[in-house]
Amino acid sequence: MIRLLKLVVFLVILTVVGLTGYAYLGDMDPDRSERVDPVTLDAR
C-alpha cells in the first residue's frame, strides 16, 4: 500500500513540475492579425 502511495505522490509531483515548466517555457503567445468587419448601422 505504501508503494502505491509513493507512486501517486511521485506522479503528482511530476505533473506539477511538468505543468510549471510548460507554463514558463511553452509557446503561449496569441496569434495576432488585423481583422476588419463591415458594420451596418440601423440609422433612421
Per-residue pLDDT of the chain (44 residues; tens, 9 = 90+): 999 999 999 999 999 999 999 888 877 778 889 999 998 888 76
pTM beyond 0.75: the answer is no
CA 20 from centre of chain: 10
Question: Is residue 13 domain-resident?
Answer: yes
Torsion of CA 34, 35, 38, 39, to 10 degrees: -110
Question: Is residue 31 domain-resident?
Answer: no
Number of domains observed in the structure of the chain = 1
Full domain range(s) for residue 9: 1-25
